[in-house]
């Protein structure tokens, strides 16, 4: 039997891994979360079966109000340990508290596994949701073939007003206020969830942006759990 090299083994692992099923929606999420434990389970089963073992090296950068954890993963050929493939560049974020480092490491490792095996998630990506097509730009030429030509312009002459873009923190604050207002009018957890359904649709674009920020994601989840407890205590 011909022994596979590390690239052939990784190819087999990728083909056998299949996909990772996303978890259930929670904490006001507009879409299903991709859980780190589920990604790790699928990836490790496939890698080990093909004689590969991942080793991660983490570096930490302390910012003003958060941690950034970088993960460099080395996938080693167990049969020939001098053979390895490096998966670099995955990163995660965490709060400046006792959970921050662990949260950042977990997030960074999850995306290293996804990158290494090109794992599919089984649900259509939310990126580009209801994206608008690019507008065709018509050049305004002054002369063509020696004659002055006036072309119609796509945009009006007057300057457009520049809208100030909200930060993810501002969006998160607004969504937390929405959660609080929905909780006020809810006597049960079921009613709370029903009240959130139309609100999630209305706030979908902002929620998709917020969920790229782990710190704001954690703030929302903490608020959501706290509100659930308050509703339960009313009984």
Question: Alpha-carbon distance 32 to 158, whole Å?
Answer: 43
In a domain, 11, yes or no: yes
Same domain? For 110 and 50 the reply is yes
Cα pseudo-dihedral 149, 153, 159, 161, rounded to 10: 180
In a domain, 195, yes or no: yes
In a domain, 158, yes or no: no
pLDDT at position 61, please?
Answer: 86
pLDDT at position 128, please?
Answer: 37
In a domain, 153, yes or no: no
In a domain, 191, yes or no: yes
pLDDT at position 57, please?
Answer: 93
In a domain, 154, yes or no: no
pLDDT at position 27, please?
Answer: 57
pLDDT at position 136, please?
Answer: 45
Q: Which residue among 74, 97, 117 closes a domain?
A: 117
Q: Which residue among 91, 117, 143 closes a domain?
A: 117
Q: How many domains does the chain have?
A: 2
In a domain, 139, yes or no: no
Cα pseudo-dihedral 186, 188, 193, 194, rounded to 10: -70
Q: Which residue among 84, 117, 150 closes a domain?
A: 117
C-alpha R_g of the chain: 24
Same domain? For 11 and 103 the reply is yes
Same domain? For 12 and 110 the reply is yes
In degrees, rounded to 5, the angle at the alpha carbon of residue 127 between the alpha carbons of residues 122 and 24 is 45
* Residue range(s) defining the domain that contains residue 26: 6-117
Same domain? For 105 and 186 the reply is no
In sequence order, the 6+-apart residues with CB closer than 8 A to the CB of 150 are none
In a domain, 142, yes or no: no
pLDDT along the chain (235 residues), means of 10: 88 88 66 81 94 94 83 94 91 82 89 88 48 44 46 47 67 90 86 84 81 76 84 76
Do 100 and 63 touch, CB atoms closer than 8 A?
no
Question: Alpha-carbon distance 69 to 64, whole Å?
Answer: 14
pLDDT at position 44, please?
Answer: 95
């Amino acid at each position: 039997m011909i022994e596979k090299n590390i690239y052939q083994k990784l190819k087999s692992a990728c083909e056998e891994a299949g996909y990772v099923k996303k978890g259930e929606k929670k904490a006001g999420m507009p879409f299903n979360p991709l859980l780190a434990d589920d990604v790790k389970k699928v990836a490790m089963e496939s890698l080990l079966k093909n004689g590969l073992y991942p080793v991660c090296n983490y570096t930490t950068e302390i910012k003003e109000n958060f941690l950034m954890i970088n993960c460099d993963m080395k996938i080693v050929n167990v049969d020939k340990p001098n053979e390895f493939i490096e998966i670099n560049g995955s990163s995660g974020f965490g709060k400046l508290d006792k959970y921050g480092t662990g949260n950042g490491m977990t997030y960074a490792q999850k995306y290293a596994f996804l990158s290494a095996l090109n794992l599919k998630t089984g649900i259509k990506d939310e990126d580009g949701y209801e994206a608008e097509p690019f507008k065709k730009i018509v050049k305004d030429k002054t002369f063509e073939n020696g004659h002055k030509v006036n072309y119609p312009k796509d945009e009006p002459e007057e300057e457009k007003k520049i809208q100030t873009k909200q930060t993810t923190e501002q969006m998160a604050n607004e969504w937390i206020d929405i959660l609080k207002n929905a909780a006020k009018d809810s006597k049960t957890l079921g009613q709370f969830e029903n009240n959130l359904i139309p609100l999630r649709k209305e706030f979908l674009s902002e929620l998709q942006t917020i969920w790229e920020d782990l710190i704001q994601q954690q703030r929302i989840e903490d608020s959501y759990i706290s509100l659930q407890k308050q509703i339960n205590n009313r009984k």
